[in-house]
Amino acid sequence: MRIAEIIMAIALAALSLAIMYKAGERPTWSGEARFSNVGFGDDGSPQGGFWPFWVCAIMFLCSIWVLVNGILKVSPPAKSGGPYLDRHGVNVLLTVGVPVFLLVLLTDYISMYFSMAIFLFYYLFVLGRHGIILSSAMALVMPFWMFLFFDITMTRTLPKGTLAVEDGIYVPLGNFFRSLDGAMIGLCFLAGAAVLVAASRLSKRGEDA
Amino acid sequence: MEVLGLLLDGILIALEPANLLICFIGVVIGLFVGAMPGLGSVNGVAILLPTIFFIKQSTGSDAAPMIFLAAIYYGAMYGGAISSIMLGIPGASTAVATTFDGRPLALKGRAEQALVTAALASFIGGTIANIFFTGFAPPLASVALKFGNPEIFALMLLAFATFVGLGGDDIPKTIISIMLGLVCASIGFDVIEGEPRLQFFDLTGFSRPINFLVLAIGVYGVGEMLWTLHTTRGDTEMSKADISLDKIKAAAGNTFREGWKGTSIGSSLGFFVGILPAAGATPGSLMSYGVAKMTSSKPHEFGKGSIDGVAAPEAANNSASTGAMLPMMTLGIPGSPTTAVLLTGLVLLELEPGPRLFQDQPDFVWPVIGSFYISNVIAVLVNLAFIPLFLWMLRMPFTILAPIIFILSTAGVYAATDSMFDVWLMFWFGLAAFMLRILNYPLAPAALAIVLGGITEAKLRQSLQWSDGSFGIFFNPFFDRDGSGSTYWIAPIIAWIAVILILMPLFQVIKRRFLRGPARPSHWQG
């Protein structure tokens, strides 16, 4: 834990220095030298780079403070002898963190709804060890609800990906649901709920047997 | 008396069927969100923020979306107690103190007593805080109307200083967190001179400040979920509760006999702690628990299932959540991470938060305040009536809830920002938050700083422009602002309090070193 505390402090100090360097940058058209904007201008008031530069300067000093505390074993994480991430923590990162990463990554290709369905199925079936019926039902109904809510009701379309599923699937689906009135949409939501309830009943029975 | 008339009108509007329905739905969602471990009021409000457009569209009023969000906030304060008591895991950080005595009561087989005490104390705490709120808000807003740039900057300074002085977390880590939030808010363009700045790698996503929601959902959606999965290890054991009308009646009687002291301490202390920008409901409830224990005639019962020990933190977290609304509505400074989300909601609804709200938008302000009273009543009724339902819901495995939160976070960020770049940013923020959290870095300061960053910088620079670069405009009451020779006391008083707060930890170090006094007990500083 102490090593992690020290590494994190160094990383934050480096980040602050990098941002301070970036804050001093002037656009090429202004023709001014780097760091000419972090002080006070001719009118006596601070210029554009002043705020981010000095904010990061304070952050840099505090990172050094944390670093010293870590080296002197003053802060609680530095005193604790345990590892930064135990085996369980690493597991959480690999089995949950990485799939969330993939959830976002796949959105660009196969659309957010399909990506959600795959993620839900993985999480419920593989991680949660739920039955295949319940897992599939959740993977179908949740994205369906999201689609009804975001794309249809709130007219805030979520990304459809580059693999051209848009025209083949979403356009006809969207046209169909947009032609329904409010009450029918409500019924569609309820139908989803019914599928979920039925699936959880079925999978319970499976567990009992 | 004018206030009473306005409040009555507000309550009547809040009682209209549409608003009442929204309030009810909000409270139920809030109870659920609060009761689920790993989900708190911040996550709930942040993830559901995009729905305000839908609510505004379907009701046509600005007040309805706010009523909805505030109802979630209240509901979550009630709900947090349920999992603290039944599972021994706080449903939200605001309910940590409730586990101290709620869990022992449940283990003794008196879970229903703890649940009923929590609900009633929450109701009383919330109602008392509402009365305070109604009394304080209009005068505070009218004082704040006279604030100029230096005064507002001094207030912002005070907000950040309270984190450092009273937050109770590691000081350099708190400051780093604040600075990270401030930097995120300054990305894109310099608002005064229009020059581009901090556009890392020339990505178009960095051509505007990072949206508060991106950080909030990253930290409180993804990061918090990973953290909960990491710390709870998925094993929880549920207590049994035997609920019947007679038991509820008996438990209510016990609450009034044995819990009145804790309730009154929590209600009053919670409100004032909640007003402080750093504090919010979590420290409010922990502090009230500490004070209730200190002043109790039976302190030995605390930690073993004292009714006062359940009542104090529960009254306090409800009271503090109303307290946190006070600076949000009157000054535009959120008192807690959740109110920071509410503030973002105000901005999304194209309302300008701050003192002018009371003057310009009475049709918005008073129905919202009226709804605070209504949601409290709804929350206590729903809570007591549906305790069995919530117990059933708590059996829902975390392996079903967690993936739903992850997909809601992703969809929520996209719906609010329309940008995949922001969804990626949310993911990386979540991961970073998880890594930082293990090392005890507090993240609430970053969430508040990103909201306040833009205005803090603008007010600082405008004030310094005014004073020709002299910081005397903030600290010296005799500083001549306009050549008229008049004195300004408000900004210096606030600014000096901020300085004292920042230096407070230093005083304590000195006191400990030289006076050899005992270290401050820090068990309640979450």
What is the DSSP annotation of B53-73?
HHHHHHH--SHHHHHHHHHHH
**Mean residue pLDDT across chain B:** 85
Contacts of A193 (CB under 8 A, 6+ apart): A141
Q: State the pTM of this model.
A: 0.84
CA-angle at B284, arms to B4 and B239, nearest 5° = 110
CA–CA separation, B93 vs B283, rounded Å? 9
Q: What would the pLDDT profile of B78-112 be if each residue is shown by its tens digit? A: 888 888 888 777 767 788 888 889 888 888 888 88
Distances (CA, A) of B494 to A115, B375, B478: 51, 34, 15
Residue B65 — pLDDT band, cuts 50, 70, 90? Answer: very high
Name the token pair of A156: 């805030």
User: What are residue B196's DSSP bridge partners?
Assistant: B189
Name the token pair of A70: 């870590």
CA-angle at A12, arms to A9 and A16, nearest 5° = 140
Inter-chain CB proximity B179 and A159 less than 8 Å:
no
Q: What would the pLDDT profile of B504-518 be if each residue is shown by its tens digit? A: 877 877 777 776 544
CB B321 within 8 A of CB B336: yes
pLDDT at A207 over 60: no
Q: Is the dihedral of CA B296, B298, B303, B306 positive or negative?
A: negative
- Letter string b/e over residues B183-202, b meaning 16 or more CB atoms within 10 A of that residue's CB: bbbbbbbbbbeebbbbbeee
> Count of alpha carbons within 13 Å of A144, Cβ hemisphere only?
18
Cβ neighbourhood burial of B436 (10 Å; 0-12, 13-18, 19+): buried
Inter-chain CB proximity A19 and B427 less than 8 Å:
no
CA–CA separation, B35 vs B86, rounded Å? 10
Contacts with A69 from chain B: Cβ below 8 Å:
170, 172
How many other CB atoms sit within 10 Å of the CB of residue A185?
A: 16
Name the token pair of A109: 């290709």
**Residue B469 sits at the chain A interface (C-beta within 8 Å):** yes
The one-letter amino acid code at B225 reads M
Question: What pLDDT sits at residue B237?
Answer: 62
Among chain A residues, the shortest Cα distance to B419 is held by: A159
Inter-chain CB proximity B229 and A5 less than 8 Å:
no
φ, ψ dihedrals at B332, nearest 5°: 80, 20
CA–CA separation, A125 vs A117, rounded Å? 12
**Residue B347 sits at the chain A interface (C-beta within 8 Å):** no
**Residue B519 sits at the chain A interface (C-beta within 8 Å):** no
How many other CB atoms sit within 10 Å of the CB of residue B233?
A: 11
Question: What pLDDT sits at residue B279?
Answer: 61
> Count of alpha carbons within 13 Å of B54, Cβ hemisphere only?
18
Question: What pLDDT sits at residue B517?
Answer: 47
Inter-chain CB proximity A85 and B180 less than 8 Å:
no
Contacts of A94 (CB under 8 A, 6+ apart): none
The radius of gyration of chain B's CA atoms, rounded to the nearest angstrom, is 23
| Distance (Å) from the alpha carbon of B373 to chain A's nearest alpha carbon | 30
Q: Is the dihedral of CA A161, A166, A169, A175 positive or negative?
A: positive
| Distance (Å) from the alpha carbon of B184 to chain A's nearest alpha carbon | 9
Spacing of C-alpha B370 from chain mean position: 19
Over residues A122-134, the mean pLDDT reads 90
pLDDT at B277 over 80: no
| Distance (Å) from the alpha carbon of A36 to chain B's nearest alpha carbon | 13
Question: What pLDDT sits at residue B217?
Answer: 84
How many other CB atoms sit within 10 Å of the CB of residue A28?
A: 7
The one-letter amino acid code at A167 reads D
CB B24 within 8 A of CB B374: no
Question: What pLDDT sits at residue B521?
Answer: 39
CA–CA separation, B315 vs B78, rounded Å? 9
Over residues A133-149, the mean pLDDT reads 91
Question: What pLDDT sits at residue B128?
Answer: 95
Inter-chain CB proximity A123 and B403 less than 8 Å:
yes
Among chain B residues, the shortest Cα distance to A88 is held by: B230
Helix (H/G/I), strand (E/B), else coil: A46: strand
Among B195, B424, B440, beta carbon nearest to A48: B195
Q: Which long-range contacts (CB under 8 A, 24 or more apart) does A196-203 make?
A: A196/A137, A196/A138, A196/A141, A198/A137, A199/A133, A199/A134, A199/A136, A199/A137, A199/A138, A200/A134, A200/A137, A202/A131, A202/A133, A202/A134, A203/A130, A203/A131, A203/A133, A203/A134
Residue A18 — pLDDT band, cuts 50, 70, 90? Answer: very high
Q: Is the dihedral of CA B224, A150, B325, B496 positive or negative?
A: positive
Distances (CA, A) of B73 to B89, B126, B217, B247, B481: 19, 12, 16, 28, 42
Name the token pair of B98: 């409730």
Q: Please determine, for the modelled complex, whether the ipTM score is greater than 0.95.
A: no
- Letter string b/e over residues A58-88, b meaning 16 or more CB atoms within 10 A of that residue's CB: bbbebbbbbbebbeeeebebbeeeeebbeee
CA–CA separation, B235 vs B204, rounded Å? 44
Mutate to test the interface with A, among B163, B406, B420 (most CBs of A within 10 A): B406
DSSP class of B297: S
Among chain B residues, the shortest Cα distance to A57 is held by: B179
Name the token pair of B430: 């979540």
Least confident of A32-46, A133-147, B445-459, B460-474: A32-46
Inter-chain CB proximity B183 and A104 less than 8 Å:
no
- Letter string b/e over residues B339-351, b meaning 16 or more CB atoms within 10 A of that residue's CB: bbbbbbbbebbeb
Inter-chain CB proximity A45 and B51 less than 8 Å:
no
Inter-chain CB proximity B50 and A156 less than 8 Å:
yes
User: What are residue B232's DSSP bridge partners?
Assistant: none
DSSP class of B196: E
Question: What pLDDT sits at residue B516?
Answer: 55
Contacts with B173 from chain A: Cβ below 8 Å:
62, 66
Contacts of B315 (CB under 8 A, 6+ apart): B121, B122, B124, B125, B128, B262, B263, B264, B265, B266, B267, B270, B288
Residue A121 — pLDDT band, cuts 50, 70, 90? Answer: very high
| Distance (Å) from the alpha carbon of B227 to chain A's nearest alpha carbon | 9
| Distance (Å) from the alpha carbon of A203 to chain B's nearest alpha carbon | 14
Calculate what percentage of chain B has a pLDDT beyond 70: 94
Mutate to test the interface with B, among A51, A84, A115 (most CBs of B within 10 A): A51
CB B326 within 8 A of CB B135: no
Number of A–B residue contacts, CB under 8 Å = 179
| Distance (Å) from the alpha carbon of A42 to chain B's nearest alpha carbon | 9
